[in-house]
Amino acid sequence: MSARRRIAVLASGGGSNLQAIVDHLAARGERRAGDVVLVVAGRETAGALDRARRAGIETAVATPAALGTVLGERAIDLVVLAGYLSLVPEEVTTRWAGRMLNVHPALLPAFGGPGLYGARVHRAVLESGVRVSGVTVHFVDAHYDRGPIIAQWPVPVLDADSAESLAARVLRAEHLLFPRVVDAVARGAITLGADGRVRGGFAGRAPLSLAFSLTAANEAAIADEIDALLCS
């Protein structure tokens, strides 16, 4: 019997993070700590469902109220929110406490919370004038974008940025960071303590500044750096 975690990905959009997770786990081969066995969307039109079908992964369309049943019936160990826009009911966040992750395209606790999703996040970042944005991966609680932070990665805001160009730069960092954190949580290398504090991850080790010049040439080096920081 496989000891790998059974992962469900919840997605409302195109599912590029889902794809990054599936590809990363496949690349890790026998070393991967989990398998994506289910993709859930709120609507049949979510592009993530097409990606799941192409990868041979079971799909489901479910309202937030039905999530607990859908996830419970499949004995899901780890729930991954990858561009999932609905609020997850408290009974579900409680049942999967420490076993549910979200990615947010900014450095929380700034630029998060109700109504701050997708392009709205990047527009708010540009309007504020901050020079650094980034990616946050956090455990999920019953509030939007508020659970304990596991890992963050900085991305520069450039003078010429539009919401679209900033979103694209942040998304590349999401694709590098999120799958590695998913695998690390599945492996048990990152946990949420009963005191609400995160153990493992980037604790006590700051990421270097390579992300400030993320280019095709240094992407592999950044991926290696994330792996090293996560002790894989």
Active site (catalytic) residues: 104
162: helix, coil or strand? coil
In whole angstroms, how close is the CB of 133 to ligand GRF at the nearest point? 11
Report strand pairing: 198-199 vs 191-192: antiparallel
In this complex, which beta carbon is closest to ligand GRF, that of residue 17 or of residue 152?
17
- Of 37, 40, 59, 34, nearest in space to 179 by CA: 34
| Least distance from ligand GRF to the Cβ atom of residue 31, Å | 24
Inter-residue contact 135 to 171 (CB < 8 Å) = no
> How far is CA 167 from each of CA 62, 150, 177, rounded to the nearest angstrom?
27, 21, 15
Q: Which stretch binds ligand GRF (CB under 6 A): 6-14, 63-71, 147-155, 197-205?
A: 6-14
- Closest CB to ligand GRF among 105 and 154? 105
Tell me, residue by residue from 164 to 203, as one string, x for binding to ligand GRF by CB under 6 A and - for no binding: -------x--x-----------------------------
Residue 118 binding ligand GRF, by CB under 6 A: yes
Interface with ligand GRF includes 103 (CB under 6 A)?
yes
Task: Work out how close the CB of 172 gets to ligand GRF at its nearest, in angstroms, rounded to a whole number.
Answer: 10
Residue 142 CA: distances (Å) to CA of 92, 100, 123, 145, 224: 8, 11, 25, 9, 33
Supply φ then ψ for residue 173, to 5 degrees.
-70, -35
Instruction: Report d(CA 137, CA 197) in Å as an integer.
Output: 14
Least distance in Å: CB of 84 to ligand GRF? 7
Residues that bind ligand GRF (CB under 6 A): 11, 13-17, 82-83, 103-105, 117-118, 171, 174
